[in-house]
Amino acid sequence: MLPFREQVGATARPIERPRVDLRDKQELNRGFGDTLARAFELAATTAIFGGFGFLLDRWLGIIPVFTLILGAFAVIGQFVRMWYGYDAEMRRHEAELPSRRRDRVPS
């Protein structure tokens, strides 16, 4: 069997890929990076606070009260931090929309 290029003829053009704006691709990649960083931060912060609580519980010789308290404190703190960060990012993004700009000329 002949290779595909020989079957369709020597004048076959390669398939052209659609052009993608580099800024859009960079923004998408930055979004993936930010999301991965937030996930790691959430897991690491909870683990660190829970670890300190575990050490404190072992030192005091009590049931895992501080492990649960500090772990919950870390999760709640991260949730509040992400909530306000998301809200600020969306306000900034909405302010950049053409319909929200104050400097636009009325039509």
48-91: per-residue pLDDT in tens? Answer: 999 999 999 999 999 899 999 999 999 999 999 999 999 999 99
Q: Where are the beta strands (DSSP E) in the chain?
A: none
Label residue 88 left, alpha or beta by phi (over 0 means left) and psi (-120 to 50 means alpha).
alpha
pTM beyond 0.85: the answer is no
User: What is the rounded average pLDDT for all residues in the chain?
Assistant: 84
Other CB atoms within a 10 A radius of the CB of residue 64 amount to 14
Both tokens of residue 99? 């319909």
Residue 9: pLDDT band with limits 50, 70, 90: low
Asked if pLDDT for residue 107 goes beyond 80, the answer is no
